[in-house]
Amino acid sequence: MIRHILPLAIAGLVATSAMADTMKLAVTTSFENSGLADVLLPAIKADTDIEVQLLVVGTGQAIRLGEAGDVDAILVHSKAAEQKFVEAGYGTHRREIMYNDFILVGPSSDPAGIAGAEKAAEAMADIAESQAPFVSRGDDSGTHKAELTLWSAAGLKPATFGDWYNAVGAGMGAALNTAAGLNAYIMADRASWLNFGNKADLALLFSGDPILFNQYAFLPVNPEKHPHVRNDLAVQLETWLTSDSAKGLIDGYTINGETLFVFNAKPE
Amino acid sequence: MNDIFEGLAAALGLIVALDPDLIEISARSLQVSLTALVIACALAIPLGTWLAVQRFRHRRTVIAVLNALMGLPPVVVGLIVYILLSRSGPFGVLGLLFTPTAMAIAQVIIITPLIASITHQAMRDLWADYHDLLISLNTTKWQRVRTLIVDGRRNLLTAALAGFGRAIGEVGAIMIVGGNIDHATRVLTTAIALETGKGDFALALGLGFVLIALALLVNIAIHALSRTESEGRW
């Protein structure tokens, strides 16, 4: 029996070698969960003939993948980490592409009363004061870092919080599932929230403060560090992502009539 | 509870419509796990049988280690395989990371101890029966191992199916080394994790039912092909 199967197994291994003109792009879960990728990838394939393979991970892991040279470019949203990535020579440069925004979601009864808050930091302080359950991504992702920025803007330290603060260490979708289960407050990006199927009793309670804007940037991996990366394809992809056809698709992408992303790439 | 019925409906819908994405990821699941199974069996069955036949100084330690490795956490295996295959790792030049090959390698590491351990347990009992006969016939070590493998094939089937079950249902390791790339390394389990993350429980469950049905089909097919439960001691 094994004599017959073994050649098949070997054929199975060989059949998996890579094709021409495919590049690997590490993106954040919030980008993939928004559904924008399903719109952009076919257009990229049609216009440039590049097949972009997406690795959907948190910003922290995306940067690690870029540092190791396991992907050709990254598309993430955490400015400080991105600048460090470029300064250390792992990326050739950082190009801003678009932004979306973060929102605060919570139980529709709003026990902490954040719906009437003026500023995002004020809303966070209200949650901490009421000690209503709060779910944090806790995974060093861009969204998690943005949440930590908000806590420090409110003058609070998550390390000192009690049982009501749940750091789940998971992606956006999994964290939203946990929040739905606990009927807890959570900070999410708008795109993931609108696309999320298991809302339970949660509702969008606070948004619109400029501190909540979330800038996405494209960073090609430096071919001087990793000669095997397809920098030519990464450059082509960047040209496309900053083109008018990308602008049309990104600005025109809506869920339930709501615009999710705003294109803001500047011409070079 | 409603979600479960919606999941069943979603599974039926996907199967009836012969959804091309579903066929693609199901085929990839089978390709990766069956490849891993064949390689793992080729390593583990001779190893497990040899451990039953051979006596040497640290045999007990080796068997204890093998048994402990049955509980190897897939996430850790995934992370180690990732570090080895990463472009900055020792095998980076092969460019295997984020390919089905990398996923098969991780699964081989996960299921080989399991298959070897079950093989060893079964062969130890069989060896007790065959010991006097094979020794008196003055057989070589290799002939004894071969005889045991041929006559114990029913037990080996159980070992192989246990390995297959662990491989096809595994998600932690292949998520890390495969990356869950659409049309490249997405398989049933990673697709289920993805849909759960999107909160689409019906589709996730639907894929789950397809996975269970697939495992069942493979088991039935292997039993039918090897004509078990139909003759003598079998």
**Residue A175 to chain B, least CA–CA distance (Å):** 8
What is the percentage of chain B residues whose pLDDT exceeds 90?
59
Here the tokens at position B106 are: 């991780």
DSSP B41: H
Calpha distance A233→A93 (Å, rounded):
15
Residue B232 or A61, more confident: A61
**ipTM for the complex?**
0.74
Q: What is the pLDDT of residue A192?
A: 86
B95: left (phi over 0), alpha (psi -120 to 50) or beta: left
- The pTM assigned to this predicted structure is 0.81
Res B230: pLDDT? 61
Residue A11, pLDDT > 60, answer: no
Q: Position of tokens 């339970």? A: A200
> Which pLDDT does position B189 carry in this prediction?
95
Token couple for A93: 């440069």
Question: What are the residue boundaries of the structural domains of chain B, listed by start?
Answer: 2-225
| CA atoms of A85 and A68, how far apart (whole Å) | 12
Q: What is the largest CA-CA distance in chain B?
A: 65
The neighbouring-strand residues paired with A214 are A100
Which residue segments constitute the domains of chain A, with CATH numbers given?
22-99+214-263 (3.40.190.10), 101-212 (3.40.190.10)
Question: Per-residue DSSP letters for A23-85?
Answer: EEEEEEHHHHHTTHHHHHHHHHHHHH--EEEEEEE-HHHHHHHHHHT-SSEEEE--HHHHHHH
Chain A's closest residue to B89, CA to CA, is: A68
Which residues from A are below 8 Å from B when comparing CB atoms?
A: 1-2, 5-6, 8-9, 12-13, 16-18, 22, 24, 29, 33, 53-57, 67-70, 171-174, 176-177, 180, 195-199, 226, 228
Helix (H, G, I), strand (E, B) or coil at A187: strand
pLDDT digits (tens, 9 = 90+) for B44-64: 999 999 999 888 899 999 999
Please give the residue of chain A at the shortest CA–CA distance from B88. Answer: A68
**Interchain CB distance below 8 Å, A228 and B201:** no
Looking at per-residue confidence, does B196 or A231 come out higher? A231
Alpha carbon distance A239, B154 (integer Å): 60
> β-strand A185-189 against A134-136: which pairing, if any?
parallel
Please state, in angstroms and rounded to a whole number, the distance separating the CA atoms of residues B178 and B171. 10
Q: Which residue blocks in chain A are alpha helix, DSSP H?
A: 2-14, 29-33, 36-48, 59-68, 79-87, 120-130, 142-153, 172-182, 190-195, 231-241, 244-251
pLDDT, tens digit, for every residue of A158-213?
Answer: 989 989 999 998 888 889 999 999 999 999 988 889 888 889 899 999 998 888 99
At residue B113, does pLDDT exceed 90?
Answer: yes
Q: What is the largest CA-CA distance in chain A?
A: 72
Cross-chain Cβ contact A226/B97 below 8 Å: no
Which residues of A are less than 8 Å from B111 in CB distance?
none
Distance, first Cα to last Cα, chain A: 62
Token reading at A44: 């990229």
Alpha carbon of A267: minimum distance to chain B alpha carbons (Å): 31
Degrees, nearest 5: CA angle B5-B7-B13: 105
Judged against a pLDDT cut of 50, whether residue A17 lies above it is answered with no
pLDDT at A139 over 70: yes
Per-residue confidence band for A18, with pLDDT thresholds at 50, 70 and 90: very low
* Domain B2-225 sits in CATH 3.90.1010.10: no
Min mean pLDDT across A174-178, A195-199, B2-6, B186-190 is at B2-6
Q: State how beta strands A95-107 and A213-220 pair.
A: antiparallel
Of B42, B92, B95, the CB nearest to A2: B42
Q: Which of A76-80, A101-105, B27-31, B99-103 has the lowest mean pLDDT?
A: A76-80
Q: Which of B39, B98, B199 sits opposite A173 (nearest CB)?
A: B199
Give B200-222 pLDDT, tens digit per residue: 888 899 999 999 999 999 989 88
Residues of chain A neighbouring B184 (CB-CB closer than 8 A)? 22, 53
Q: Which of A8-17, A175-184, B104-113 shows the highest mean pLDDT?
A: B104-113
Query: Scanning every residue of chain A, which has its alpha carbon at the shortest distance from the alpha carbon of B31?
Result: A12
Of B39, B194, B199, the CB nearest to A9: B39
Measured between beta carbons, the chain B residues lying within 8 angstroms of A16 are 99-101
Report chain B's terminal Cα–Cα distance, integer Å. Answer: 41
Using alpha carbons, list the distances in angstroms from residue A86 to A26, A144, A219, A220, B88: 16, 21, 8, 9, 18
Which residues of A are less than 8 Å from B98 in CB distance? 24, 53, 55, 70
